[in-house]
Amino acid sequence: MEEEWQHLKDGPAQLTDVEYERVASAFVPPVYQALADTDLDFGTRLAQNPAFARWVARNVQPHKVPGYASVVLSTKPGLASPPGDVTAEQMDAVAGWSEQFGFGEIRIAHEQNIVLPDVTKADLYALWCLACDQGLGSANIGLLTDIIACPGGDFCALANAKSIPIAQAIQGRFEDLDYLHDLGDISLNISGCMNACGHHHIGNIGILGVDKNGSEWYQITLGGAQGKRSALGKVIGPSFSAAEVPDVIEGIIGTFVRYRETEELFVDTVQRIGLEPFKERIYPKALEVSA
Ligand code: SF4
C-alpha cells in the first residue's frame, strides 16, 4: 500500500487547487431565502397530527440553512407496489413539487427513495399532504419496511432468484407502523445474486438469492451496516426457501425484541449477543415450516 502511494503521489491524478476551483464552480448553491429558523417540533401542529409528526421524525432531515429541511419521500408503501417503484404520475408530481417546494432539484438515494433537498419548514405540512395523496408519504425511512431490493429474477437476466416477491412478502408481514417505529432503525437489503446490486452484505439483515440445483434459495446475513460504522454481515447458516423467508425474518425480529436493551438499535443487539440466539430461534422454526 505504501509503495503504491509513493508511486502515485504527485502524479497526473494529483488534485490541484485550480482543478478543485474548476469543479467547485459547477456547484453553485441556490439563492436561499433569509428565514428565521424554526424548530422541527412545530408544537401544536405536531401534537394535533401524530401521523404528520411521525413523518417529520422519520422522513425530514436537518438542513444547514436556517428555515429549510431536506425531505425524503418513501417509495416503499408496502404491498401497494414493489420497493423503489414509482409511476409516471408520481414522477410528474415529484417534478412539480421540486419546483413548488425547492429549486427544481430531485435526488435519488441509494436506498431507492426520493430526496427533495431544499424545502422550507413552513411548506412541510403542505408537501406531506400531497405526498400522502400520491402514495409517497409513508413514514418509514430507515425502518424495516424501507427495504432495498434489486430487480432480481423478475427483470434481471443475471439473477439466481427473485427479490421483489421476497421484499413484498416481508412488507406484508410487518404492516403495523407503530410496531415498526418501536423497533427503530433496521436496514434490510435483498440481492438476487452475488453481484450485490441490493447491497445485501451491508444490510443489518441481508438476503442473497442463491441457486441450488436450479431452484431459488435465500442466504441470510446479520450485522451488516453502512456509513461510518460500516460492516459486512455474517451468514447465519444454511439458506431458506422463498416460503420460509418471512417466518425467518419474523424469528429474527422476535429474537431482537427478546434480547434488546432499552431503545437499543437492532445492529447493536446483534453485535452484543452474536448470532447464536438468532440461530437457535430460526432454525427450528424453519424446519417446522419445511415439514
Ligand atoms: S444483484 Fe444480481 S439479480 Fe440483482 S440486479 Fe444485480 S445482477 Fe441482477
Determine contact, residues 244/223, Cβ cutoff 8 Å. Answer: no
d(CA 264, CA 258): 12
Q: For the domain bounded by 148-290, which CATH number is listed? A: 3.30.413.10
Question: For the chain, first and last CA: distance in Å?
Answer: 52
Consecutive 10-residue averages of pLDDT for the chain (291 residues): 88 90 92 84 71 93 94 93 94 98 96 97 94 96 97 96 96 94 97 97 98 95 94 96 97 97 96 96 65 42
The verdict on the CB of residue 164 being under 6 Å from ligand 1 is no
DSSP string, 178-214: HHHHHH----EEEESSTT-TT-GGGSSEEEEEEEETT
pLDDT in tens, 14-53: 889 999 999 999 988 999 999 988 766 666 666 778 899 9
**Distance, CA 146 to ligand 1 centroid (Å)?**
19
Determine contact, residues 178/195, Cβ cutoff 8 Å. Answer: no
Determine contact, residues 58/143, Cβ cutoff 8 Å. Answer: yes
Helix (H, G, I), strand (E, B) or coil at 109: coil
The verdict on the CB of residue 203 being under 6 Å from ligand 1 is no
| Residue 284 pLDDT | 72
* Residue at grid coordinates 437499543: 264
The grid cell for 7 is 508511486
The Cα diameter of the chain in Å comes to 68
Ligand 1 atom closest to the CA of 209, numbered from 1: 3
Domain ranges in the chain?
44-133, 148-290
Residue with the nearest Cα to atom 6 of ligand 1? 197
Which amino acid makes up residue 130? L
DSSP secondary structure code for residue 270 in this structure: H
User: Chain centroid to CA 110: how far?
Assistant: 8
**Distance, CA 162 to ligand 1 centroid (Å)?**
9
The third-level CATH classification (topology) of the domain covering 44-133 is Sulfite Reductase Hemoprotein; domain 2 (3.90.480)
**Distance, CA 115 to ligand 1 centroid (Å)?**
24
| Residue 189 pLDDT | 98
Give the count of beta carbons closer than 10 Å to the beta carbon of residue 134. 18
Q: What share of the chain is helix, strand, coil (3-state, %, to 5)?
A: 45, 15, 40
Q: Do β-strands 60-62 and 107-108 pair in parallel, antiparallel, or remain unpaired? A: unpaired
Tell me which of 147, 148, 150, 154 to substitute to probe ligand 1's pocket, judged by most ligand atoms within 8 Å of the beta carbon. 150
The verdict on the CB of residue 150 being under 6 Å from ligand 1 is yes
The verdict on the CB of residue 151 being under 6 Å from ligand 1 is yes
The verdict on the CB of residue 159 being under 6 Å from ligand 1 is yes
Helix (H, G, I), strand (E, B) or coil at 289: helix
d(CA 99, CA 30): 12
| Residue 43 pLDDT | 60
The verdict on the CB of residue 158 being under 6 Å from ligand 1 is yes
| Residue 44 pLDDT | 65
pTM of the full predicted structure? 0.88
The verdict on the CB of residue 196 being under 6 Å from ligand 1 is yes
